[in-house]
Amino acid sequence: MRFPPQRFLHLVIILTIVLVIPASQSYPNGVGEVANDGCVCHGVIRETTELIVEGLPTKYESNTSYNLTLKVNGAIENQTNSSAFGGFRMLVSHGEITLENTSRGQLLGGGWTHSEEGNKFREWNFTWTSPMDNTSYVEFKIFGNAVNGNDNPYGDEWNSLIFKLPGVENNDELKNQNNLYEFELYEKVILASVSLVIIILAYRAIK
What does the pLDDT look like over 127-175, one tens digit per residue? 999 999 999 999 999 998 888 776 666 667 888 899 999 999 999 888 7
DSSP class of residue 5?
Answer: H
Instruction: Indicate the domain borders of the chain.
Output: 28-182
Rounded CA separation 113/105 (Å) = 6
**In the chain, how many H helices and how many E strands?**
2, 10
Exposure string (b/e) for 166-182, b if CB count within 10 Å is 16 or more? Answer: bbeebeeeeeeeeeebe
CATH of domain 28-182: 2.60.40.4060
Rounded CA separation 70/68 (Å) = 7
**pLDDT per position as a tens digit, 22-53:** 444 555 554 544 445 555 455 566 777 889 99
**Whole-model pTM?**
0.68
The per-residue DSSP string of 117-166 comes to TGGG-SEEEEEEEPPS--SSEEEEEEEEEE--SSSSSTT-EEEEEEEEEE
Rounded CA separation 74/94 (Å) = 29
Mean pLDDT of the chain: 75
